[in-house]
Each structure stands twice: as structure tokens, then as C-alpha cells.
A = this chain, B = another copy of it.
Amino acid sequence: MENTALMLIDVQKGFEEPYWGTRNNPDAEEKMARLLSEWRDRGRPVIHVQHCSVVPGSPLRPDEPGCQFKDEVAPVTGEAHFRKSVNSAFIGTGLEDYLRQKGIGALVIVGLTTDHCVSTTTRMAGNLGFDVTLVSDATATFDRTGHDGVHHSADSIHDIHLASLNDEFCVVRSTDDVLSGLRD
């Protein structure tokens, strides 16, 4: 566990905008902050991933205030920080090389959104051979409507994506479960 990194994906102020729709897991940031505090207390590696959108109108464009990290999980000196412009934190960044160089073989992933950037990064991390834990209540997403006009709630999307990811790309655990593992 000593060299397991906590990776926080796209925990940025712009996700508060109505642009994204209706969200689930309103307490996810509080869970992320608890995990981050424990990682810092133990001096374990922390990696912040920031989405710098190239989509016109996105609240996550680099010139928008929404691109900033949320205060409760903002990076401090010495923590790794990667910027990306697509969903996967491994594409167009030096993340894989960084992890290999630091000897980090395991990741605990939290952040936004479950089915877009969190899922894509979890999938690539698992396929690249990293041992991934995905935290069910420290991730969240928004409701969406499919190409067929059918509407899906954020909770349904979240739950089904976790079911597809679990045991194929990662192990899904709760914040409490991850924290009690740290204290064993």
C-alpha cells in the first residue's frame, strides 16, 4: 500500500454549473477530501488530473474560472499535477511514464465523472497493467439522454458503469472500506 497513489480526476469548480445536468452522490467531494487527508498524513503519492477542455462553451476551458480545482481537494506543493484535454488521463500526458518511473503500480481513483473521464482512465489504467481501486461513493456523474431519446438518471448510469468496471478493470470499494484497509 505504501506506493499506492490516490488519483483525483477532474474535481473542478466548473462541474457546479447547470451545463452538466442533475448529479448523483452530492457527498462525493467530502469523501474525496477524507481520502486525500489520509493520503497526505501518510506521505503517500497523490496525483491531480485537471481537464482543460477544448470544447466551445465548456465550463472546463482553461480560460474559464471553472477550470480551477475545487478548494477542498486542491493540490499542495509536491503533489503531481497532469493536464489533459480528452477523457483519458493517459492520452496526451506523461502519466504512464511518471507512474513507471516512480514505481507506482497501484491506483485509488476518485473524481468526476464516473462514466466519462473516470471510466476511461480506469479502463486504460487496468489495461496497462496497473492495479486499480475505484471508489464508489467518491465518484459521481450526471443524468444523460441517449441517442434514442431515452433519459437515464445519474444514479442508474453510475451504478451500471461501476458494475461493468468491477472485476474487469478494477475493484470497486467504498471510501470507508478503503480507509479501514489503510488502518489495518
Contacts and interface: CB of A to CB of B under 8 A. Distances in A.
Interface in A135-168: 136, 144-148, 150, 152, 156-157, 159-164, 166-168
A184 B128 CA distance: 41
B172 A146 contact: yes
A161 to B, nearest CB: 7
A163 B157 contact: yes
A120 B115 contact: no
Given A87-B127, A116-B164, A148-B159, 13 more contacts: A88-B123, A91-B124, A115-B160, A144-B163, A144-B164, A147-B166, A147-B171, A147-B172, A147-B173, A150-B159, A150-B163, A152-B159, A161-B161
Among A145, A160, A161, chain B packs the most CB atoms within 10 A around the CB of: A160
B157 A164 contact: yes
